[in-house]
Amino acid sequence: MSNSLSLEELYLDLLKKCLTRYGFSERYEEYEPRRGSLKRALEAPVRLLLRLRRLELVRAKSFNPHERAEGRDWPLEAETMIGLRRLDNLQFCITDLLQRKVPGDFIETGVWRGGASIFMRAMLRVYGDTTRTVWVADSFQGLPPPDPDRYPADKGDRLWTVVQLAIPLEEVKANFAKYNLLDGQVRFLVGWFRDTLPRIAADRFALLRLDGDLYESTIDALRHLYPKLSIGGYVIIDDYGAVSACKAAVEDFRSEHNITDKIEPIDWTGVFWQRSL
């Protein structure tokens, strides 16, 4: 790494590695079967007995720096699973927005343990911006079951059964507090996007970071937030390359609204574009 980095850049680089636990070499990962699975039902008594003894079921895990940098694994303790490359992109977008003074708040829809939103708040703190709010939108109970009648692209999706995606609000708040970044410039939207985003108390955004996986979650966020995005602002789609339903929602929305701004790749799954009109 270059020795010419400023103190601000050094802090942000360290923060990215902390939020991803890059280089921390975890040896184990949480083991918890999907909701509704036979394995989960059969193991429930064992799990209960272990927890009474303050023990947890885990399985051996090896640390792969390439996978962690690209957000291809689920860290045991990290605040984000998006990896270094997508955090680098977030830093690029926010730095550019602040330099150009593009008006508006920042929002992440689908936050898991809050790491990317924490990084947004850290950047505002580092560069002394006291005017913007970071909106943290999530159900804080995992993903919704698919509604294939309304959104056929989500048919058969099983992400709603993944227990590890259901991170409680208080845990996310505690993660912000751990980095001394829980304050009045952070606001939490609790609930399904279809219910919370139409009523959000924000008039303008400079940055949308969408990480809802499903067609429904992605299209709801675009429909309710994109009209409030400033010209020159950025849209980041986390699951474009990993989830076909997410990609379909993006393409349908862009086609419906004649959006031709070039989609730029970030890594194997993340993409972004800058609004020009």
Question: Do 256 and 76 meet the contact criterion of CB atoms below 8 Å apart?
Answer: no
* Rounded distance between C-alpha atoms, residue 177 and residue 149, angstroms: 41
Closest CA to 150 of 244, 217, 226: 217
Q: Tell me, which fold does domain 83-274 have in CATH?
A: Rossmann fold (3.40.50)
Q: What sign results for the dihedral spanned by CA atoms 109, 82, 257, 231?
A: positive
For the purposes of burial, counting CB atoms within 10 Å of the CB of 97, is it exposed (0-12), middle (13-18) or buried (19 or more)? buried
Domain range summary for the chain, segments of one domain joined by +? 83-274
Tens digits of pLDDT across the chain (277 residues): 556 899 999 999 999 999 999 988 667 777 777 777 877 777 778 878 878 888 877 776 678 899 999 999 988 899 999 999 999 999 999 999 999 999 999 999 999 999 999 999 999 999 999 999 999 999 999 999 999 999 999 999 999 999 999 999 999 999 999 999 999 999 999 999 999 999 999 999 999 999 999 999 999 999 999 999 999 999 999 999 999 999 999 999 999 999 999 999 999 999 999 999 9
Tell me the CA end-to-end span of the chain in Å, nearest whole number: 37
**Which tokens go with 176?**
């912000």
Residue with tokens 């989830």: 243
Provide Rg for the chain, Cα atoms: 19
**Which tokens go with 180?**
């001394």
For 30-89, the pLDDT digits (tens) are 777 777 787 777 777 887 887 888 887 777 667 889 999 999 998 889 999 999 999 999
